């Protein structure tokens, strides 16, 4: 553990007694952070030597004070050496408290987590989405279970969190909680924020994540092909609950909206543009990014279909929706009816808009990024890679077909 440490006696000149004597203080500095304490002595400023940190002269007063200061130095140095030998992280405040005989209660990890989550809960729909809060709530639950499993405790001091603790938590998530690689790292990433809170408040002196790199694996995002989307649009479903979910899904395929943003969509979000076309203008719940999307004919047709629905008539929404959980369950039935083998989810519709509906039809990446409400173009570039790969696969099929035709032609010519 590499820790810089120094100490210095100095005069507190803003506190004088009858213009003569000044209180003497000890300044402790650890890794550039300071803490100070009184040594319960006052001296004449004219006799103090700031270079040697001693009182000048050979008087009994000078000898007594300098011997006392040597004892203070010695005691501070011993405390420092003890902490170093124990390989225990510490701050200037820790040194001060140990010198004064104060044993400060260590800040506990789950205590910090609970404080963070309570603050986040109060900011739901103000600064954070409900889903974000739920992920931190779940992360806290996993940390608690990990601490119990690995350490046999209800909580641990945050200063005990090190690289071994972090790697152990990642392994616990994968082995005991059966999380896949990316899901495990998302929980670790949430945990990292809690550690940053601890570092920022100086409850720990070193960030244990310094040598830990979070590397997500690239996941191939599924989307509907042009043929699959057309098949889904055309299929007639007689059950109202399934029909409603199908229409909501198709609407998302042609607008790129996430489920939560469709659920919140209201009449004020449908605006007429300068050319008379209708647009969706809103703010993404997840990122708070503003976006604008021109309504394509299939999306407009679905809005027209439900304009007389009681929920729409009451002004609560422009499209009635079921819960996300129920919608995803019903989409499994819809996929089977449409003969689609892919795992349909409400979010797959957003991927379909980005790939099949827009990028595959030549809509520029920057335009798609703006419509999706992405803050970073790199987020949208992943969809472009999927489209490029599809083009590559299609071209290979074409090359194979051309090669087969050439071979057939060559064979025909040889027979002649």
From residue 410, alpha-carbon distances to 12, 38, 118, 406, 415 in Å are 100, 99, 75, 6, 9
Residue 378 has pLDDT above 90, yes or no: no
Q: Which own/partner contact pairs does 174-178 have at CB distance under 8 Å and 24+ positions apart?
A: 176/145, 176/149, 177/142, 177/145
Length of the chain: 416
Strand, coil or helix: 57: coil
17 pLDDT exceeds 60?
no
Indicate if the alpha-carbon torsion angle 107, 111, 117, 121 is positive or negative. Answer: negative
Domain check: are 80 and 191 in the same one?
A: no
Q: Tell me how crowded residue 322 is: count the other CB atoms within 10 A of its CB.
A: 15
In a domain, 125, yes or no: yes
pLDDT class for 393, splitting at 50, 70, 90? Answer: low
Q: Which residue has the higher pLDDT, 406 or 193?
A: 193
Instruction: Report whether pLDDT(383) > 80.
Output: no
Domain around 306: 226-388
- C-beta atoms surrounding 136 within 10 Å: 20
Q: List CB contacts of 315: < 8 A, sequence separation 6 or more.
A: 266, 267
Higher pLDDT, 155 or 397: 155
Could you list the beta-strand ranges (E) of 71-227: none
Judged against a pLDDT cut of 80, whether residue 381 lies above it is answered with no
Query: Cβ(66)–Cβ(43) under 8 Å?
Result: no
Query: pTM to 2 decimals?
Result: 0.60
Residue 220 lies in a domain: no
> Can you tell me the mean pLDDT for 382-409?
73
pLDDT in tens, 268-304: 999 998 888 999 999 888 878 889 999 999 999 999 9
Count of domains observed in the chain: 3
Residues 238 and 380 in one domain: yes
pLDDT tens digit string along 66-103? Answer: 999 999 999 999 989 888 887 777 888 888 888 888 76
Q: What is the structure's pLDDT at 129?
A: 80
Question: What's the burial of 309, exposed, middle or buried (CB within 10 Å: 0-12/13-18/19+)?
Answer: middle
Whichever domain contains 238, its CATH number is 1.10.443.10
Helical H runs in 86-108? Answer: 92-99
Q: Is the same domain home to 356 and 257?
A: yes
Q: Is residue 129 part of a domain?
A: yes
Q: What pLDDT shows up at residue 391?
A: 64
- Split at pLDDT 50, 70, 90, the class of 16 is low
pLDDT at 340: 93
Q: Rounded to whole angstroms, how far apart are CA atoms 406 and 411?
A: 8
Is 284 contained in some domain?
yes
Token pair 């299939």 is found at 298
Whether residues 84 and 157 share a domain: the answer is: no
Place of tokens 């960030």: 207
User: Do 365 and 279 reside in the same domain of the chain?
Assistant: yes
Q: Tell me if 256 sits within 8 A of 372, measured CB to CB.
A: yes
**Residue 162 belongs to a domain:** yes
Question: Can you give the pLDDT at residue 296?
Answer: 94
Residues 230 and 345 grouped into a single domain: yes
Residue 147 has pLDDT above 90, yes or no: yes
What confidence tens digit (pLDDT) does each residue in 304-356 have?
999 999 888 887 789 999 998 999 999 999 999 999 999 999 999 999 999 89
In a domain, 394, yes or no: no
User: Do 24 and 93 share a structural domain?
Assistant: yes
Query: Do residues 252 and 354 share a domain?
Result: yes
Does 410 reside within a domain? no
Pick the last residue of a domain from 44, 78, 99. 99
Do both 21 and 53 map to the same domain? yes
Q: Which of 18-22, 151-155, 244-248, 364-368 has the lowest mean pLDDT?
A: 18-22
Indicate whether 135 and 92 sit together in one domain.
no
Q: What are the tens digits of pLDDT across the range 150-196?
A: 999 999 999 899 999 999 999 999 999 999 999 999 999 999 999 99
The residue among 54, 79, 99 that closes a domain is 99
DSSP 194-258: HHHHHHHTTSSSS-TTTT----PPP-------HHHHHHHHH----SHHHHHHHHHHHHHHTT---
Give residue 15's pLDDT: 53
Let me know whether 140 and 57 are in one domain. Answer: no
Q: Please, what is the Cα angle at 203 between 197 and 207, to 5 degrees?
A: 65
Report pLDDT digits (tens) over 219-262.
777 899 999 999 999 999 989 999 999 999 999 999 999 999 99
Query: Which residues lie closer than 8 Å to 367 by C-beta, 6 or more apart?
Result: 358
pLDDT on residue 385: 66
Would you state the pLDDT for residue 407? 81
DSSP 3-state assignment of 285?
coil
Q: Of 106, 186, 176, which Cα lies nearest the Cα of 148?
A: 176
* Whole-angstrom distance, CA of residue 353 vs CA of residue 348: 9
The CA–CA distances, whole Å, from 330 to 31, 245, 246 equal 58, 7, 9
**Do residues 247 and 382 share a domain?**
yes
Q: Are 135 and 116 in contact (CB under 8 A)?
A: no
**Structural domain contains residue 286:** yes
Spatial separation of the C-alpha atoms in residues 62 and 344, rounded to whole Å: 85
Residue 58: HSE in the Cβ half-sphere, 13 Å Cα cutoff? 0
pLDDT band at 265 (very low <50, low <70, confident <90, very high): very high
pLDDT of residue 389: 61
Among the candidates 62, 78, 99, a domain finishes at 99
pLDDT at 1: 55
């Amino acid at each position: 553990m590499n820790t810089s440490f120094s100490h210095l006696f100095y005069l507190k000149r803003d506190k004088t007694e009858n213009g003569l004597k000044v209180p003497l203080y000890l300044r402790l500095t650890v890794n550039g952070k300071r803490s100070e304490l009184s040594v319960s002595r006052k001296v004449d400023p004219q006799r103090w030597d700031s270079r040697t940190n001693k009182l000048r002269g050979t008087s009994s007063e000078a000898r007594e004070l300098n011997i006392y200061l040597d004892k203070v130095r010695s005691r501070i140095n011993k405390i420092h050496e003890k902490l170093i030998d124990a390989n225990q992280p510490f701050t200037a405040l820790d040194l001060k408290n140990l010198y004064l005989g104060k044993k400060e209660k260590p800040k506990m990890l789950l205590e910090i987590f609970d404080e963070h989550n309570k603050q986040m809960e109060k900011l739901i729909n103000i600064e954070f989405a409900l889903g974000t809060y739920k992920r931190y709530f779940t992360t806290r639950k996993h940390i608690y279970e990990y601490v119990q499993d690995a350490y046999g405790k209800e909580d641990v001091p945050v200063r005990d969190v090190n690289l071994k603790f972090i790697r152990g938590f990642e392994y616990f998530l994968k082995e005991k909680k059966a999380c896949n690689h990316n899901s495990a790292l998302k929980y670790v990433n949430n945990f990292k924020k809690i550690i940053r809170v601890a570092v920022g408040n100086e409850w720990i002196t070193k960030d244990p994540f310094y040598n830990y790199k979070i590397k997500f694996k690239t996941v191939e995002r599924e989307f509907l092909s042009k043929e699959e989307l057309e098949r889904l649009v055309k299929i007639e479903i007689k059950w109202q609950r399934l029909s409603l979910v199908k229409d909501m899904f198709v609407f998302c395929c042609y607008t790129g909206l996430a489920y939560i943003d469709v659920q919140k969509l209201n009449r004020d979000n449908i605006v007429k543009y300068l050319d008379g076309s209708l647009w969706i203008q809103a703010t993404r719940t997840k990122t708070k990014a503003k976006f604008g999307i021109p309504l394509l004919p299939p999306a407009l047709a679905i809005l027209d279909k439900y304009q007389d629905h009681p929920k729409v008539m009451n002004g609560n929404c422009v499209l009635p929706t079921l819960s996300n959980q129920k919608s995803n369950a019903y989409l499994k039935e819809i996929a089977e009816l449409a003969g689609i083998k892919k795992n349909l989810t409400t979010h797959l519709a957003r991927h379909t808009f980005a790939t099949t509906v827009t990028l595959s039809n030549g809509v520029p990446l920057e335009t798609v990024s703006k419509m999706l409400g992405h803050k970073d173009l790199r987020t949208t570039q992943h969809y472009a890679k999927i489209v490029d790969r599809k083009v590559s696969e299609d071209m290979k099929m074409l090359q194979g077909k051309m090669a087969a035709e050439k071979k057939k032609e060559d064979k025909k010519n040889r027979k002649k």
